[in-house]
Amino acid sequence: MELYAITTKIRAYWETISTSYWFIPACLMTFSVVLCSLCLALVQRACIPGWLLAFFPIVTQSGAQQLLSTLATSIITATSIAFSMTLVALVMASSQFGPRLLRTFMLDKGTQVVLGVLVSTFLYCLISLHHLSSITQNEDALSIISASSAILTILDVVCIIYFIHHLAKFIQADEIIYRCFSDFLGDIDSLLPRPEDQPDERPLAEELAVRTSFSITLFSECSNYVQTINYRELINRNPDIIAGLEIFVRSGDYVAVGDPLITFYGRCEISKEMVNKYRKCLVFGRQRTPVQDPEFAVSQLVEIALRALSPGINDPYTAITCLDRLTSACVIMHDREFPANCVVNTSTNIWLLRRTFALASVINTAFDQIRQAGESHMAINLHLMHCYKTLKNHLDTKYHPLLKSHAKATMYLASKQTFSDKEQNELDQANKRFLQTA
């Protein structure tokens, strides 16, 4: 249980670390310092065989100093250019796709590695240059130091070429949409775990969750977003005292100071000191994360579509691509089981009542705002009807009334616009095909 709690917190912290531009460069810089120290410790006793002289030509101390100085200057210049290109890409992404999409850019490992390699090579040359005066007698050592720095510089040139190609590809709308969708696919197992992953929990009817007279509520002490909640630890601690818990928040919610978080129902009197220990089961942060929030990736795709439909950009094709990915996300979620609102731990008999995510709310999040923003675009209306038809083919019949309400809302908003007879007829035909879908 402690391992699960630690894992949950690590995932929340790792989300913050992995979207920063300092972690991977810092690791590579540390590796560069260690590598340079080892080379300097070993190279002074090195002797180059004759057959390697073609690759490690003999250089003088002044020549090695000039080479390392030139390489260090060139690399730091290339590094500044790479950082400038990154900042330009981030500004473009923020204005075109929305500031919350910067997370996807900053999560990109290719950019982080390239920046780390450039800075690490500069550090390697700088340390080598600093210790160069101590290598006076061994010309072979000078040759090895110079050659290794040159090899690293060649690697930097390859990284810069890759970086330019990678950045040009990465800022394309279709690539951003695909990466958001791929991030969602990578997180689906943790977002919607299968029942066999939680063998000690089973659904419980809410009527059987008995609220005892011994109750106490835990209130928020900060104003932040709920990032993760360790449900497993909540229903495993103090079974001799706690009978059940009611959680009023879920991942992605914003809470203010004094908002109720959890109400504990005890088998006897519950002390405030014990309740305060449960604060560690909730992780708060300044922004939402996809760790336990299935609607996070959906909201990102929706934001891209809304930006594309804004008058300043007016790019319905990007919005249509987002609708395709959103439809696929809903179909994938349908094949997973969403957490039950009320569960009980079969080992401790502690029940847990909570607000959970449902496929219906995901569908509403995916299509409501896009439908409203794209009401004047016939292409968007037609594609929305196509998406509803696709979902109707894949989802259980219990979701059909919800899809019909979305289709009805689309038709209503379109009826308020002025379209040609041809376009209106196409929309009517799309609605008819949707209604005829089994």
| Pair 173, 315: CB distance under 8 Å | yes
Q: How far is CA 91 from CA 82, 112, 158, 270, 358, in A?
A: 14, 17, 25, 52, 35
User: How confident is the model at residue 57, as a pLDDT?
Assistant: 63
Q: How far is CA 77 from CA 125, 146, 160, in A?
A: 14, 19, 12
Q: CB neighbours of 109 closer than 8 A, spacing ≥ 6? A: 24
User: How confident is the model at residue 3, as a pLDDT?
Assistant: 46
Which among 14, 175, 28, 15 is positioned nearest to 89, based on CA atoms?
175
Tell me the HSE value of 338 on the side-chain side, using a 13 A CA sphere. 17
Compute the residue count for the chain.
438
pLDDT mean by block of 10 residues, the chain; 438 residues: 52 66 83 81 60 62 84 88 84 76 76 88 86 67 78 89 86 85 78 62 85 90 88 86 90 90 90 88 83 80 90 88 93 85 88 88 92 91 94 92 94 89 91 83
User: How confident is the model at residue 28, as a pLDDT?
Assistant: 86
Look at strands 254-255 and 260-266 and give their pairing. Answer: unpaired
CA-CA-CA-CA torsion for 285, 288, 293, 295, nearest 10 degrees?
A: 160
User: How confident is the model at residue 1, as a pLDDT?
Assistant: 44
CA distance 155 to 106: 23
Tell me the HSE value of 275 on the side-chain side, using a 13 A CA sphere. 20
Structure tokens at 417: 């616009």
